[in-house]
A and B are shown apart, each in its own frame.
Chain A
Amino acid sequence: MPRIIKQKIEFEGRIEEREVVIEGEDLPVWSETERFAVVGTPVARVDGRERASGAARFTTDQYPPGLLHGAVLRSPHAHARITRMETEKAERAPGVRAVLCAANAPRIPWFSGMSWLFDPELRYVGDEIAAVIAEDPEAARDALDLIEVEYEVLPHILDAEEALRPDAIQVHANGNIVGGAPERYERGDVTKGLAEADATVALTVRTPDALHHSMETHGSVAAWAGDQLTVWDSTQHIFGVRRHLALSLGLSMDKVRVLSAYMGGGFGSKNGAGKYAVIAALAARQTGRPVRLVFTRAEESQAAGKRPRSLQKIRLGAHWDGTLTAIDYWGLSNVGAYRAVPSPLHGPAMELYLCPNVRTETTSVFTHTGPAAAFRAPGYVEGTVALECAIEALADQLGVDPLDVRLRNYAPDDQVLGRPYSGKHLQEAYQLGAKAIGWSRREPTPKKPAENGTKLRGLGMASQLWGGAGSPPAYAEVRLNIDGTAEVRLGTQDIGTGTKTALTQIAAEILTLPVERVRLALGDTDFPYSPLSAGSQTIASCGPAVRMAAEEARRHLIDAAASVLEAAPRDLRLESGQLRVVGVPTLKITIPEITRRMGNFTITGRGFRGANPSGVTVRTWGAQFAEVEVDTETGAVSVIKITACHDVGRVINPMQYASQVQGGVIQGLGFALSEDHATDPESGAVLDLGFDAYAVPRMSSIPEIEALAVNVPDPVVNNLGVKGVGEPPIIPTPAAIANAVANALGVRITELPITPMRVLRALGKTD
């Protein structure tokens, strides 16, 4: 019996209340002691062969017949108004089929109404001005130079602290603060807590702008067939793109289909429709031909989103034994020209540690720089650097082992919402991770380097707090073919996480089929609805729906076999693809034998994601430990080893779990040591336009990474006991590395990335 309930849905550090349809009763949660044949085993990626062999077709591999190519003219100014634009020469250039701009494109609102598809007011270097559609990409780019634009250059603001001043240049009519005011939280009395403290520590921390740099750039290929629009999009959210296209183009939703069977990475930058999707669709409609509009790597550096730079100030007060009396946190996030939601920098400070007196104030400000976007645990990576560096500095100051300080401030319950956690195994994560790195080797003060040596080693750690519970709505369908193979369909996305494999394992487990006889299809809005693949929510939202669909198909199989074998369904057991009657060994039938008998009737099942538990907070937890070696002559930091242990509930595929951990740790390593997206402080121009200038980690800088899992199923979070692991592994890495460097050098560097220059400066070897 379907009912509508109000759910508080937690997503990327924010809580929203939504109404959700719950169609019936959920299945009981898989128990902790349940034994599985396929779930929990390291099955190789079901689409590994397609991806490795180049057979997989990504959005950027789609070349339908008659394809036209688009290129976008972008603002050279951080803040300007277009006073005159002539596109006639561009329109007449060889190969050009259309030029779209404010004069001829519909006035489609963008960025929650703060701007338009082609806004005559430009607010960052790279902001879209016009698009040229031509027979080939070179003709399109050549024609960009023929568009004549005159600008009224306006004063711009690039610095977040300046943007806070009352007399600052305003980026938007409603002011420079996202949401209109800082986000504040308070419990207890911080002033009293600081006064009571035996010791206090204060740190100022800066983290840089960081770019996602997914290997496949942003882009769409749009094609019309009559009034039906099909768009291939490199996206984490096919249903979001579909809805946005329908709204923007004034179409009914059934006229729009979005496809993303394979996509080359997103990390949060592809959570919704880009302007390129709408432009491609408009141009395809106008020209009557398919249109491809894909970012170059340079555009990926300007207009694809970024993790916004932060300035954070944190003060901790504690007793001599390290137990906290106060946490006072202030954070500033520079989100660029457009961002719908503020950065939750304060998340870790608010919740991670047991502390009666906490005050946080976080402000996200607009500036005339590239728009920020969600990037793998937005806000929490930055906030964890501040909190975890402060806690370790406190431990050093008190002469207490930093691991002991974490343990002494362990929060058993959610202090913010005042209720229990559904599960918290952070203690186990600390213990397992510490043992694996050899934490007992850590010396509180740095050793002198060996005779004639220049290298110092150090150990550091950090804790991880995040969501990952998933939520409804999410649906799945299963059907069995006449040959006994199974098909699973759902409109989710596999952005590289291995979702496709994990979901296949769940269906295979229930149906007792080998994984090779289950084919899962995703990435199509013609399939049942799934939420976006972000916020570490896919396995936790879609997995339970797949399980339910498979369970229903299994019940139908049993009923069909019962009828054929003339037994009661309750006397039948399904094992290894065979149904047999309990106690009568001669009465059995295989799945293919049943499905063959069914003729054209296919056995099907449908499943939905049930409601989230109320009255408990669901979190993922973790701890990472880093060992580094610093060369005191060159300033180079080399990470020797990282141990990472996370509590994400039940692990469906341990090999993919470890791959996610490695991937997150490596991105965290880049954030800690080498990634620094540079904007010119005068002009606002982006200075790094690709992999040559923006230093993502490469093979040579990768340490030994040991991925451990607590692997205790969550008892209530969903009918599988799973939580997501996409974001947890990046969160503590930068802080653990920063702490290890501080341990090695005896001096703390609180500005990331920790480049050789910053190390030498901290050692007093250069200005």
Chain B
Amino acid sequence: MDQVVPVAESTHRIRFTVNARPEEVVAAPRRTLLQVLRENLGLTGAKEGCGVGTCGACTVLVDGRAVLACLMLAVQAADRTIETVEGIAQGDPPDPLLAAFVRHDALQCGFCTPGQVMALRGLLRRAPGASAEEIRRTIDGNVCRCGTYLRIQAAAAEVAAAAETATDIQKA
């Protein structure tokens, strides 16, 4: 009789788009988007640094805006468009932020880096020529214990400046 027991906790089938691909996962309501991305879909770029929304290591884009995936339930992501660092890395062309990070040595252990990149991608989506002050405010939400902040600022500034130049060229 005890060998087959209905499990009390229900699960839901959730459909969303991840890195331009339609995905479907089955998860309990209390599972977060972060857990589902990492454990159901194998996208381990987004990291758990704290699990409670205080460090930014889990930042992903949901419908183009930077979101802390540890604070979003997987069920809340239903029908949404999700982008992770793996997606922008494999883009055509790959996101210029990644090359800028490597060029400026804007990483050391690399654990916070995907979150930094996604937070900046979210900023630069809506403000391609973001100012130094806007960049600083965005990165304030991403902890880097190795201390790469100045390098991150430089990498982001370079990408923002290139976007400004591109816009100027387009306008000219």
Chain A residues lying within 8 Å of B42, measured Cβ to Cβ, are 63
Question: Complex Cα distance A667/B7, Å?
Answer: 48
Decide: B109 and A138 in contact? CB cutoff 8 A.
Answer: no
Chain B facing A: main interface SS: loop
Chain A facing B: main interface SS: loop
Chain B residues lying within 8 Å of A63, measured Cβ to Cβ, are 38-39, 42, 44
Known A-B contacts A61-B44, A215-B47, A700-B136; the reply to A496 vs B109 at CB < 8 A is yes
**Partner-contacting stretch, out of A44-52, A99-107, A316-324:** A44-52
The answer to whether the Cβ of A698 comes within 8 Å of any Cβ in the partner chain is yes
Decide: B109 and A699 in contact? CB cutoff 8 A.
Answer: no
Option from A44, A58, A60 in Cβ contact (under 8 Å) with B105: A44
Chain B residues lying within 8 Å of A691, measured Cβ to Cβ, are 49-50, 54-55, 143
Decide: A696 and B102 in contact? CB cutoff 8 A.
Answer: no
Interface residues on B, range: 35 or more
Decide: A690 and B107 in contact? CB cutoff 8 A.
Answer: no
Known A-B contacts A264-B109, A496-B110; the reply to A663 vs B98 at CB < 8 A is no
Decide: B54 and A663 in contact? CB cutoff 8 A.
Answer: no
**Partner-contacting stretch, out of A240-248, A341-349, A654-662:** A654-662
Known A-B contacts A496-B146, A662-B151, A705-B150; the reply to A54 vs B111 at CB < 8 A is no
Known A-B contacts A663-B148, A690-B50, A705-B150; the reply to A216 vs B107 at CB < 8 A is no
Which of A45, A47, A263, A692 has its CB near the most chain B CB atoms (within 10 A)? A45
Decide: A663 and B146 in contact? CB cutoff 8 A.
Answer: yes
Decide: B110 and A56 in contact? CB cutoff 8 A.
Answer: yes
Decide: A52 and B109 in contact? CB cutoff 8 A.
Answer: no
Bitwise interface map of B from 7 to 18 toward A, beta carbon under 8 Å scored 1, else 0:
110000000000
Chain A residues lying within 8 Å of B137, measured Cβ to Cβ, are 700
The answer to whether the Cβ of B128 comes within 8 Å of any Cβ in the partner chain is no
The answer to whether the Cβ of A468 comes within 8 Å of any Cβ in the partner chain is no
Decide: A48 and B107 in contact? CB cutoff 8 A.
Answer: yes
The answer to whether the Cβ of B160 comes within 8 Å of any Cβ in the partner chain is no
Please give me the residue from chain A that is nearest to B101 by CB atom. A52
Question: Complex Cα distance A263/B51, Å?
Answer: 18
Chain B residues lying within 8 Å of A58, measured Cβ to Cβ, are 44, 47, 111
Decide: A297 and B117 in contact? CB cutoff 8 A.
Answer: no
Chain B residues lying within 8 Å of A662, measured Cβ to Cβ, are 147-151
Which of A262, A265, A498 has its CB near the most chain B CB atoms (within 10 A)? A265
Question: Complex Cα distance A213/B54, Å?
Answer: 13
Known A-B contacts A53-B85, A63-B39, A216-B47; the reply to A497 vs B147 at CB < 8 A is no
Please give me the residue from chain B that is nearest to A213 by CB atom. B145
The answer to whether the Cβ of A267 comes within 8 Å of any Cβ in the partner chain is yes
Interface residues on A, range: 35 or more
Bitwise interface map of A from 231 to 268 toward B, beta carbon under 8 Å scored 1, else 0:
00000000000000000000000000000001111010
Decide: B147 and A700 in contact? CB cutoff 8 A.
Answer: no
The answer to whether the Cβ of A411 comes within 8 Å of any Cβ in the partner chain is no
Question: Complex Cα distance A401/B148, Å?
Answer: 34
CB interface residues, A 39-71, toward B, < 8 Å? 42, 44-45, 47-58, 60-61, 63
10 A–B contacts, CB within 8 A, in A order: A50-B110, A52-B110, A63-B38, A214-B145, A215-B144, A498-B108, A662-B150, A663-B108, A696-B145, A700-B137
| B binding-site residues for A, Cβ under 8 Å | 7-8, 30, 38-39, 42-52, 54-55, 57, 84-86, 89, 98, 101-103, 105-114, 117, 136-137, 139-140, 142-153
Closest 8 CB pairs of A and B: A54-B45, A51-B110, A264-B111, A496-B109, A666-B147, A663-B147, A496-B108, A53-B89
